Amino acid sequence: MRKRFLLFALSLGAVSLSFAQEQTEQASTASRKYWKFRERLDSYFGLMAAYNSPTNLNALVRSHNFKSAPNFQFGLGLGLGYDIKPIVLGLNLDGALTFSEQSRSHFTYIGIYASTNEWKAKSTVISPFVGFGLQSAVSRYRIKEDNLNASDLFASNRGNIIELNQDSPVLDFGIALKKHKPGKGNFQFLRLGYRLGLKDADWDLAGNTQYAGVTDRTQMGYLLLSF
């Protein structure tokens, strides 16, 4: 009886040890897969400065004796990609705004991009990129008229705000500089790019689809510095 019990205990211990080893191996495999995934991540988040000059819209605004919105805009940008060797595929999103006493304008962008991490200079990754996305712009102008009282303003059928919207498909290309962080992937610290509209896009009056009588092709340069 004692021998049977001893054999049973030894068998149970062997099974438990085997199960524990199997669990440890599975956990180790999962951990390696996780860190391998992290190593291939490509990300950025930072401050953005853009120069965007809608030539035809600015000319229209000035022809009505208004001052056009400032061309420099400031905002934030972020992106996340994955390195499938030798190509990095990713998604990026950004936006910026500017304003003055009489106007305010901003844009938002969402797109996809492809790049590569194969070019290196010492510890810096030099990564050219090309992408495609949709850029939406909004420009608002506050009408300021002399010798106009409140009752006259409310009676006006045009109101005191003019808002124009534009949606434009754009090509996004440039170069990014990155640092590789072991266990965390590639972290972009600088992104220099240019966006070119694929067509002359209409400016529409806000609140309806009425054409404002002017088109512009997006032409915007930008610089993004990551935190």
Distance CA 71, CA 186 (A): 32
Q: What pLDDT, on a 0 to 100 scale, did the predictor assign at position 21?
A: 55
Q: Is 125's pLDDT higher than 70?
A: yes
Distance CA 195, CA 56 (A): 17
Quick one: 223 exposed, middle or buried, by C-beta within 10 A (0-12, 13-18, 19+)? middle
Residue 117 per-residue DSSP state? -
Q: What pLDDT, on a 0 to 100 scale, did the predictor assign at position 4?
A: 60
Identify the CA nearest to 103 among candidates 160, 46, 24, 43.
Answer: 160
Summarised one tens digit per residue, pLDDT across range 184-203 is 678 899 999 999 999 999 99
Distance CA 78, CA 113 (A): 12
Give Cα 182 distance to the centre of its chain. 24
CA 99 to each of CA 73, 105, 138, 140: distance values in angstroms, whole numbers, following the listed order = 9, 6, 12, 9
Mean pLDDT of the chain: 80
* Of 37 and 16, the one with more pLDDT: 37
* Of 152 and 49, the one with more pLDDT: 49
Distance CA 86, CA 81 (A): 13
- The tokens for 182 are 């072991």
Identify the CA nearest to 125 among candidates 156, 94, 88.
Answer: 88
Summarised one tens digit per residue, pLDDT across range 75-102 is 999 999 999 989 999 999 999 999 887 7
pLDDT band at 3 (very low <50, low <70, confident <90, very high): low
- The tokens for 109 are 């962008």
Q: What pLDDT, on a 0 to 100 scale, did the predictor assign at position 1?
A: 60
What residue spans define the domains of the chain?
A: 1-39, 41-226
Judged by DSSP in three states, 85 sits in coil
Summarised one tens digit per residue, pLDDT across range 26-70 is 545 455 555 566 778 888 999 999 999 999 988 888 887 778 888
Identify the CA nearest to 204 among candidates 57, 6, 72.
Answer: 57
Q: What does the chain come to in residues?
A: 227
201 with 163: CB under 8 angstroms? no
Average pLDDT over residues 197-216: 82
CATH 2.40.160 assigned to domain 41-226? The reply is yes
Q: Is 111's pLDDT higher than 70?
A: yes
